[in-house]
């Protein structure tokens, strides 16, 4: 390294790089105390850009200047200055590496191959964040609707949006599912969503399900005087998923959903940008835990579930909430939502959809945490209501009314005319539901 010019080294001061030319990644790294952290960071930067374990003839100073990744920060936490304890088993660092984005372009597969590719084999290394420049983001269209577009489409000015997942998750009779969707929609659900486990099996095909559901929702809409969106699950192998998208819209679907990690970000992006320009697209987060839930390896959930699906065009992203059955820390939950809604140059907001064991008794806490610009996702919170799914949806809308009026949900449930909310509170209260991990 010392034989190369300084500007060809895999190293730079953060003050000296042109940030518009780089994607900057922040990592947690844990190393044995005897290992040189900056040397390891340099090796990783070279591994993920121009080189390999030793310098090769073609890796000239000019190639390095154009393409090498730059280590711009190595910060030990806590920071030992003159010595470290003799019994110290591990030294822990926050590291930052800047990758020239022209190396991989405005796409996700080569981004991930670059920033968390081979180095993911190195042990304790987790990508905590990715900082994207405006020039890179211009290559993406982002959400077509986002929060504002969904409100305009549904004609909902201020309150939260209510999404219902049809339960049971997998079922044989399309008509049974349509009947359940009708009841939930008639009670006040704004969006009806397929479960992530039901897409296009032989016993419950899109061809059979979509017309029945849309007819049921049309009836519900005429009764309640509101619009309902049906996000049909088109997840499949490729290219069948693309065919599913086109066919679903032909059959009358006014929304689509994809298990985005199962099919890949680029497949999801292609549907958003090219196949479904006029309907909202919902991203379901299954597989997130496999990528994010280790504290020492993988990619942080705010990237996996927050930034990347938003950049790829998710209008609504489902993510686990700490109020119900999901095992997730509240601060991580809030960080994911933060990355869905904060300004991101040309990319619109994604509507956060907290989900996982949410009941009407959680509405107050959810809105306190995230505000009104959300989609609240619930399945059994509607379909397991003791008075039926229509009453379950009514109970949620009553909880929305309570919050909008500044009345505690528990108090509102006791008032005359709110029997549905009262029954929900009697069944589940406002505590954690489901399996408590």
Instruction: Tell me the C-alpha distance between 168 and 145, whole Å.
Output: 29
Active-site residue, selected from the candidate residues 42, 126, 144, 167: 167
| In contact, 164 and 358? CB cutoff 8 Å | no
Residue with tokens 């809105």: 367
Q: What are phi and psi of 157, to 5 degrees?
A: -75, -45
Residue with tokens 């780089």: 22
Among residues 216, 247, 187, the alpha carbon closest in space to that of 388 is found at 187
Q: What are phi and psi of 344, to 5 degrees?
A: -140, 65
| In contact, 272 and 281? CB cutoff 8 Å | yes
User: Is residue 432 flagged as an active site residue?
Assistant: no
Helix (H) or strand (E) holding 175: helix 174-187
Helix (H, G, I), strand (E, B) or coil at 393: helix
Among residues 334, 277, 262, 345, the alpha carbon closest in space to that of 310 is found at 345
> CB 140: neighbour CB atoms within 10 A?
21
Tell me the CA distances in angstroms from 224 to 183, 188, 221, 298, 426, one per residue in order: 11, 8, 5, 46, 26
Active-site residue, selected from the candidate residues 70, 193, 270, 284: 284
Buried b (16+ CB within 10 A) or exposed e, 60-79: eeeebeeebbbbbbbebeee
Q: What is the DSSP letter of 273?
A: I
Helix (H, G, I), strand (E, B) or coil at 336: helix
Tell me the CA distances in angstroms from 333 to 306, 327, 336, 352, 435, one per residue in order: 10, 10, 5, 10, 18
User: Is residue 67 flagged as an active site residue?
Assistant: no
| In contact, 391 and 186? CB cutoff 8 Å | no
| In contact, 4 and 62? CB cutoff 8 Å | no
| In contact, 374 and 354? CB cutoff 8 Å | yes
Over the Cα atoms of the chain, what is R_g?
Answer: 24
Helix (H, G, I), strand (E, B) or coil at 328: coil
| In contact, 308 and 107? CB cutoff 8 Å | no
Among residues 355, 383, 421, 419, the alpha carbon closest in space to that of 184 is found at 383
Instruction: Tell me the C-alpha distance between 399 and 171, whole Å.
Output: 29
DSSP 128-153: EEEE--HHHHTT----SSHHHHHHHH
Q: Which residues are catalytic?
A: 167, 284
């Amino acid at each position: 390294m010392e034989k190369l010019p300084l500007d060809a080294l895999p190293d730079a001061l953060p003050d000296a790089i042109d940030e518009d030319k780089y994607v900057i990644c922040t990592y947690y790294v844990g190393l044995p105390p005897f290992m040189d952290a900056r040397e390891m960071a340099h090796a990783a930067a070279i591994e993920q850009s121009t080189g390999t374990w030793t310098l090769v003839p073609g890796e000239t100073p000019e190639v390095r200047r154009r393409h090498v990744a730059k280590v711009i920060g190595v910060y030990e936490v806590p920071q030992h200055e003159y010595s470290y304890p003799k019994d110290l088993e591990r030294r822990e660092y926050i590291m930052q590496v800047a990758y020239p984005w022209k190396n991989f372009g405005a796409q996700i597969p080569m981004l991930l191959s670059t920033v968390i590719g081979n180095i993911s084999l190195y042990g304790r290394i987790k990508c905590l964040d990715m900082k994207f420049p405006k020039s890179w983001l211009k290559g993406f269209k982002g959400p077509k609707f986002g929060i504002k577009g969904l409100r305009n489409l549904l004609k909902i000015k201020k309150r939260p949006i209510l999404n219902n997942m049809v339960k049971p998750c997998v079922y044989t009779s399309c008509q049974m599912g349509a009947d359940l969707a009708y009841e939930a929609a008639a009670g006040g659900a704004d969006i009806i969503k397929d479960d992530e486990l039901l897409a296009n099996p032989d016993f419950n095909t899109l061809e059979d399900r979509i017309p029945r559901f849309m007819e049921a929702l049309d009836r519900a809409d005429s009764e309640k005087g509101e619009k309902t969106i049906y996000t049909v699950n088109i997840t499949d192998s490729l290219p069948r998923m693309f065919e599913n998208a086109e066919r679903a819209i032909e059959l009358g679907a006014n929304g689509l959903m994809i298990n985005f990690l199962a099919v890949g970000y680029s497949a999801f992006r292609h549907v958003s940008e090219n196949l479904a320009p006029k309907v909202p697209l919902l991203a379901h987060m299954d597989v997130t835990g496999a990528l994010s839930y280790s504290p020492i390896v993988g990619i942080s959930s705010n990237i996996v579930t927050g930034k990347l699906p938003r950049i790829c065009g998710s209008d609504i992203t489902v993510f686990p909430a700490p109020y119900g059955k999901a095992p997730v820390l509240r601060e991580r939950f809030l960080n994911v939502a933060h990355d869905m809604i904060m300004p991101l140059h040309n990319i619109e907001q994604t509507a956060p959809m907290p989900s996982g064991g949410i009941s009407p008794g959680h509405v107050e806490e959810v809105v306190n945490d995230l505000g009104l610009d959300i989609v609240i996702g619930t399945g059994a919170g509607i379909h397991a209501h003791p008075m039926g799914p229509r009453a379950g949806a009514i109970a949620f809308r009553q909880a929305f009314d309570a919050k909008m009026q500044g009345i505690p949900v528990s108090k509102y449930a006791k008032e005359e005319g709110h029997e549905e909310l009262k029954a929900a509170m009697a069944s589940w209260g406002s505590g954690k539901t489901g399996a408590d991990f």
